[in-house]
Amino acid sequence: MGEAFNPSSVAFPAALPPEQARGEESDALTALARLVHEDLQACNQTIVQRMQSPVELIPRLAAHIVAAGGKRLRPLLTIACARLCGYPDKAEHRGDGLRHVRLAAAVEFIHTATLLHDDVVDESKLRRGLASANAVFGNQASVLVGDFLFARAFELMVEDGSLTVLQILARAAATIAEGEVLQLMTQNDLTTSEERYLNVISGKTAALFAAACEVGAVVAGESAEAQAALRGLGFHLGIAFQLTDDALDYVADQQRLGKTVGDDFREGKVTLPVLIAYEAGSAEERRFWQRTIAESDQREEDLARALGLMEKHGAIAATLARARDYAAKAKAGLALFREGRLREALADAIDYAVNRSR
């Protein structure tokens, strides 16, 4: 913790140049990232530059979570959607042609701020297989650096100068917080309806996906119809992505997902797999869920039983089937846009989001 922060030491998995990426697991997300590789590199540079502060704990803590990597999915969506809409190649696109890059960085800052606050709220010790920022730097610093990154996101938007973009992302930020509070209220509540659960993930996950995509269309000066199509794509993809995460929490192993199996279970998080298994369960099974989830009274063998009940009632398969339905809706949003490598890569990335194993 005593070392000076060195921005060049921050690694960005999703933005590796093709030669460095060789030998890595090749997937549709990586393929999409390669198509917009230079934009992503520029975005990562913007992120590193703009998380600087004379208060040295800020870049140090921010680097910890930024360097941890993750899929960098949201800025990738902003960049890919802008490119899909032809930005910045058309004559009417004034400026430096880097609006999508700056706004992708703003989107990632909002996401990173919410991750920092989430880990404090969930008391998480791990994030993507590494110690979480709150575990290393404490809850206090995580809350405050989250606030800093959130403010920085708005500074980047102000520099961009579009009130439409500001409106989209300010609204998204409020909606994320609403989703998180709703999640807090439904936590441990097995009577949560599927509709209410969808409201939670619409807020906490899909709102930012939707905004990230919509912003791409806005910088390209696309029609309201195209903006709405990409907004819808992002929204449905966000739901699909979160449902897949919720399912994988009960199947992935620690090495692959970067977190232990059953984290949601241990936290008493009511996700769709649990709701499906509870709904279909016998009276005795429901008492099991009551004790473990509603009353947070868990013993060592309970996770295995939970996995067994999910298997019995096909809860994981049903959750993934729902995810694939949303992915199909997301892909339908692409019909409006010109065919080509980028559109194909986006469609593949959407498929990957629901077929991944981590």
Q: Footprint of a copy of itself on this chain (CB under 8 A)? A: 53-55, 57-58, 113-114, 117, 120-121, 139-141, 143-148, 150-152, 154-155, 157-158, 161, 163, 166-167, 170-171, 173-174, 176-178, 180-182, 184-185
d(CA 279, CA 282): 9
Do 15 and 41 form a contact (C-beta atoms < 8 A)? Answer: yes
Helical (H) or strand (E) element with 153: helix 139-160
Closest by alpha carbon to 331, among 353, 309, 301, 305?
353
String of DSSP letters for 164-189: HHHHHHHHHHHHHHHHHHHHHHHTT-
Residue 131's DSSP bridge partners are 126
Cα 48 to Cα 180: distance, rounded to the nearest angstrom:
27
Among 54, 224, 68, smallest CA distance to 136 is for 68
Least gap, CB of 171 to a copy of itself (angstroms) = 6
Nearer to a copy of itself, 202 or 292 (CB): 202
Specify the residue, 113 or 248, whose C-beta has the smaller distance to a copy of itself.
Answer: 113
Reduced to 3 states (helix: H, G, I; strand: E, B; else coil), residue 83 is helix
Cβ proximity to a copy of itself: between 150 and 352 the closer is 150
* Shortest spacing between CB 13 and a copy of itself, in angstroms: 27
**Minimum CB separation from a copy of itself for residue 235, in Å?**
18
Question: Considering only CA atoms, which of 76, 232, 107 is closest in space to residue 169?
Answer: 107
Smallest gap, in angstroms, from Cβ of residue 139 to a copy of itself? 8
Question: Cβ closer to a copy of itself: 26 or 164?
Answer: 164
Report the DSSP beta bridge partners of residue 130: 127
Contact 85, 222 (CB under 8 A): yes
Please, which residue, 114 or 271, has the CB nearer to a copy of itself?
Answer: 114
**Residue 150 corresponds to which tokens in the numbers above?**
């959130």
Question: Cβ 21 to a copy of itself, closest distance in Å?
Answer: 34
Shortest CB 3 distance to a copy of itself, Å:
15
